[in-house]
Copies of this chain bind each other. A is one copy, B any other.
Amino acid sequence: MSTKGTLFGLGVGPGDPELLTLRAWRLICNCDVLAYPQTGDGDSLARSICAPFIPEDATELAITVPMREDREPARTAYNAAALKIARHLNQGRNVAFLCEGDPFFYGSFMYLFERVAETHKTVVVPGVSSLTASAAGIARPLAARNDVLKVLPAPLAADRLRSEIETADAIAIIKVGKHFDKIRNILRDLDLDTHAAIIEAATLEDEKISRLCDVAAGERPYFSTILIYKGAEPW
């Protein structure tokens, strides 16, 4: 294993720059190379979260990751990025990959980790996840005491979602996007839509929180989370 440079998977939190950890902040100020994912349009949420702290003379490595159903272009992009990062590491430079939320909680860092960690020193710095940031935003507990908490990605089949929701005390449904109506129907059917909230753009300036029963049918942003807490009073 090359020990020349270290790859840091930096959790940079859900959106508000003040939710960076002291460690992430220190590493951003001092790292040789800052890498981050960006869309085909050149937008990077991860970079924008860290923008107030990025040194003017930082070496940046933007990784353009197409968001498409077909995963092949993304795989190609991560393969190319892993090679570039390995080159920096081999030359003794530390690289920090900026990752929204937490790198190991459904994070995009995973795709670099599986390509780089076997050959180069890799350290993950945990971050505040959208999960707990969303609970803070709606001002309701996520889970307490002996609650069973489940995190369910919205693309799962309706039957699976329904049975998992029925047997949980607290539920977070992530990656809502175009699956909103499917989930809304399940929650109405289970009489849980009055115990649920949807939060969009958590901790960002355009954060939006709604009771699920107040939201019209239709698509919601991909980065939306629905939280259900059976232990709370209905809204």
Please report A residues at the B interface, Cβ cutoff 8 Å: 11, 13-14, 16-23, 25-26, 102-107, 110, 113, 117, 122, 124-129, 131-133, 135-136, 139-153, 155-156, 160, 164, 167-168
Contacts and interface: CB of A to CB of B under 8 A. Distances in A.
A160 B19 CA distance: 36
B105 A143 contact: yes
Nearest to A155: B146
Contacts of A153: 145-148
Contacts of A148: 150-153, 156, 160, 164
A22 B23 contact: no
Given A136-B125, A143-B105, A19 B22 contact: yes
A135 B22 contact: no
A105 B102 CA distance: 15
A26 B18 contact: yes
